Amino acid sequence: MQICCSDPDPTAIGLVSVLLRAKALGLLPQVTPVLDALRNEAQFWIGEALRSEVLRLAGETA
C-alpha cells in the first residue's frame, strides 16, 4: 500500500495534534515550550499562522 500526502487515513495525525491531545489529557502542562524547543533545537519548521492557531487551541494565547 502506498501512502501519500493526500491519503485520507483518519488514524494518521501529525506531531502538533499529538501535542494538543497530550495537553487535553493532562499529560503535557504547556504546548508552547515544546513547540519552542522543537523549533530552536530540532529545526522543526512551523509557520507563524499555524503556531498561533495551535496555541489558541491549547488555550495559551495572551
- CA angle, 43 then 15 then 56, to 5°: 95
* DSSP code string of 9-46: -TT---HHHHHHHHHHTTS-S-SHHHHHHHHHHS----
Which residue, 17, 15, 12, 13, is CA-closest to 1? 12
pTM, entire model: 0.75
The string of pLDDT tens digits covering residues 19-53 is 999 999 999 999 999 999 999 999 988 889 989 99
The predicted structure's pLDDT at residue 14: 86
Helix, coil or strand: residue 55: helix
C-alpha dihedral over 11, 14, 17, 23, to 10 degrees? 110
